[in-house]
Amino acid sequence: MKYIYGIDIGGTFVKLGRFDETGTLLEKWQLPVDASKYAERMAPYVAGAVLVDMERMGISEGEVAGIGIGCPGTIDEKGVIHGAENLQMDQISMTGSMRRFLPMEIRMENDANCAALGEYIFGEGKAYDSMAFLTLGTGVGGGIIASGSLLTGAHRCAAEFGHMQVDEAESTPCSCGRYGCLEQYCSARGITRMSGGFSPVEIFTAMQYIDETTEPLKSAALRTYERFSEKLAKGCALIADVADPAVFVIGGGVSNAGDVVVKRARELYRTFVYPGAKNTEIRISKLKNDAGIYGAAALIGHFSEKNRKV
């Protein structure tokens, strides 16, 4: 048997999964990340985690088909990370450094692209040949699958959905320096900002039990949910006007609240989008927080006819 490791590097945890050749997740675990102490140290830290697992399971180098990694930032074709500020990783050759410890195939891609790939092959995108994936977490990212292929773009910056402008009247700047970005309304931080301090969990729970919810949460939830839904619907409509995916899949931590996250956005989407695409479905991620490790593993493994096109 050959094994594949799928790794998802985040600002708080490194998530790891060991897969077999069929794409079955055999085991998953996570390790804490102290971003202030990493950057160049990330490669030996991650490589060490794989080596420890290989030793624990009695797996030799020859039994590992490869390692796929998802990481924030722009990842160039040589596996060099650019602009992952939260991890203090810029101009870092992650794959090159890891091969010093693990001389095998190692491939790397942006973390949101990996999550999109995982959801496309194993999750809600499985029945389609195109998909737009939006991850709503601390920020907003995403990925596009077009005609069976992951769209990365000429500068490997495709699908930065979080920085589409959805409100020209916004006076508060986004973290990118512009105004009215989708991330300002649909990320966890954006929801808390709009609500006056309530968390996404509080807002979406309140919307499911609105008649039993008391003030001031009730008013904040109604106001925030409508604005969130409007901006999400506008964002999906903009994507549809350009890429016309067969389905939208919403992932990331915010999506853990379930179908309430997209219920109102589905209705509003039809009023914003070009009429020909008004029936495109908006679904909640099936893989949730595991989408990243599945997609990272798919960078290595040929799990389906779909993946051979990537």
Q: Are residues 268 and 207 in the same domain?
A: yes
Same domain, 168 and 49: no
Token pair of 126 as six digits: 């499985």
pLDDT score at 205: 97
Whether a cis peptide bond, with omega within 30° of 0, leads into 245 is no
Domain count, the chain: 2
Checking if the pLDDT of 164 tops 70, the result is: yes
pTM score of the predicted model: 0.90
d(C-alpha 235, C-alpha 269), whole Å? 9
Is residue 158 assigned to a domain? Answer: yes
In a domain, 119, yes or no: no
pLDDT, position 35:
66
CATH assignment at residue 302: 3.30.420.40
| 34 and 134 share one domain | no
Query: Over the stretch 62-110, which tens digit does the pLDDT of each residue have?
Result: 999 999 999 888 888 877 887 766 666 677 788 888 999 999 999 999 9
Residues 254 and 269 in one domain: yes
| Residue 98 covered by a domain | yes
Do 278 and 135 belong to one domain?
yes
pLDDT of residue 88: 65
- Determine the structural domain holding residue 270 and report its residue range: 128-285
Phi, psi (degrees; rounded to nearest 5) at 303: -85, -20
Query: Is residue 219 domain-shared with residue 187, that is, in the same domain?
Result: yes
| Angle (CA) 306 158 46, round 5° | 75
Query: Are residues 169 and 105 both part of a single domain?
Result: no
Cα–Cα distance for residue pair 49/43, rounded to 1 Å: 10
Q: Is residue 240 a part of any domain in this protein?
A: yes
Question: For residue 15, is it within any domain?
Answer: yes
- Residues 295, 236, single domain; the answer is no
Q: What is residue 136's predicted lDDT score, i.e. its pLDDT? A: 95
Distance of alpha carbon 84 from its chain centroid, rounded?
Answer: 14
pLDDT digits (tens, 9 = 90+) for 23-77: 999 999 999 987 666 667 888 999 999 999 999 999 999 999 999 999 888 888 8
Q: Is residue 110 one of the residues assigned to a domain? A: yes
pLDDT in tens, 178-236: 999 999 999 999 999 999 999 999 999 999 999 999 999 999 999 999 999 999 999 99
Say yes or no: 153 and 241 in one domain: yes
Radius of gyration of the chain (CA): 20
Same domain, 269 and 134: yes
Which pLDDT value is given to residue 255? Answer: 95
Token code pair at residue 299: 């960078």
Check whether residue 103 and residue 139 sit in a common domain: no
Work out the end-to-end distance of the chain between its first and last CA atoms, rounded to an integer number of angstroms.
23
Q: Are strands 74-75 and 64-71 parallel, antiparallel or unpaired?
A: unpaired
Question: 245 exposed, middle or buried (CB, 10 Å; 0-12, 13-18, 19+)?
Answer: buried
- The reply to whether 59 falls in a domain is yes
Residue 185 forms part of a structural domain: yes
155 and 109 in a single domain? The answer is: no
Q: Give the largest Cα separation in the chain, rounded.
A: 61
- How confident is the model at residue 37, as a pLDDT? 66
| pLDDT tops 50 at residue 166 | yes
| Residue 14 in this model has a pLDDT that exceeds 90 | yes
Q: pLDDT tens digit string along 104-163?
A: 999 999 999 999 999 999 999 999 999 999 999 988 999 999 988 899 888 888 899 999
Distance of CA 47 to the CA centre of its chain: 22
